[in-house]
């Protein structure tokens, strides 16, 4: 029989999709107020992996990936996703979102995203929130899985997650 133990805290991150007219400064301020100082903020990256968000968010889309300074418990995802959904709602204009916020957690073993959508490979966490393991760390690199979104499987984001892993290791 195994012995239950509380695992190490993890690094909280958030992906922000937005167009040029989005209220990015107020979104960043709300995230900082809600989750603390940033340990990392990427440069804006063009987002062309899908046109799914363009009707609502506008075009062309960009992404910023940021990570928060203070590690968090692994079971934080329901509360975090609910708060990021609130921030999205606070920034609705003319009935449409202006930002899409995708929070997740990074550990030495994997990268997991929070979602409100169930699917066969997602685990229900509570409060209407599921978790998806998006990348696993194997052979000295984060590796995509068959369901990993193409943008999260890109070398650009995997490179960023390697950088975040180093930041996280420094906080353990």
Question: Tell me, what's the pLDDT at 50?
Answer: 83
Distance (Å, whole) CA 29 – CA 171? 23
The reply to whether 72 falls in a domain is yes
Q: Are 120 and 29 in contact (CB under 8 A)?
A: no
Domain encompassing residue 69: 11-171
Q: What is the pTM of this model?
A: 0.96
The lowest-confidence range among 14-28, 42-56, 92-106, 157-171 is 42-56
The reply to whether 155 falls in a domain is yes
Q: What is the CATH number of the domain that holds 70?
A: 3.30.70.260
Domain count, the chain: 1
Instruction: Please provide residue 168's backbone torsions phi and psi, each rounded to the nearest 5 degrees.
Output: -60, -45
pLDDT in tens, 87-133: 999 999 999 999 999 999 999 999 999 999 999 999 999 999 999 99
- The dihedral through the CA atoms of 29, 30, 36, 41 has a sign that is negative
The reply to whether 5 falls in a domain is no
Per-residue burial over 47-60, b = 16 or more CB atoms within 10 Å of its CB, e = otherwise:
beeeeebeeebeee
Nearest to 62 by CA among 27, 20, 104, 97: 20
**E-strand spans in 84-146?**
99-106, 110-115, 123-126, 129-138, 141-144
Q: Are 33 and 84 in contact (CB under 8 A)?
A: no
Q: pLDDT category, 172, cuts 50, 70, 90?
A: confident
Interval 33-51 mean pLDDT: 95
Distance (Å, whole) CA 78 – CA 125? 7
């Amino acid at each position: 029989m195994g012995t239950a133990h509380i695992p190490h805290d993890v690094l909280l991150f958030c992906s922000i999709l937005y167009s040029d007219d989005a209220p990015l400064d107020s979104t960043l301020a709300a995230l900082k107020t809600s989750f603390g100082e940033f340990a990392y903020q990427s440069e804006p990256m063009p987002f062309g992996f899908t046109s799914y968000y363009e009707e609502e968010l506008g075009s062309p889309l960009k992404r910023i990936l940021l990570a928060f300074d203070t590690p968090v418990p692994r079971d934080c995802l329901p509360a975090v996703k609910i708060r990021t959904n609130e921030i999205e709602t606070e920034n609705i204009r003319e009935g449409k979102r202006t930002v899409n916020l995708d929070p997740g957690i990074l550990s030495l073993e994997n990268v997991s995203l929070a979602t409100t959508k169930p699917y066969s490979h997602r685990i229900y966490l509570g409060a209407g929130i599921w978790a998806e393991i998006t990348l696993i760390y194997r052979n000295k690199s984060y590796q995509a899985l068959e369901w990993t979104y193409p943008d999260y499987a890109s070398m650009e984001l995997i490179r960023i997650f390697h950088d975040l892993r180093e930041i996280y290791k420094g906080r353990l």
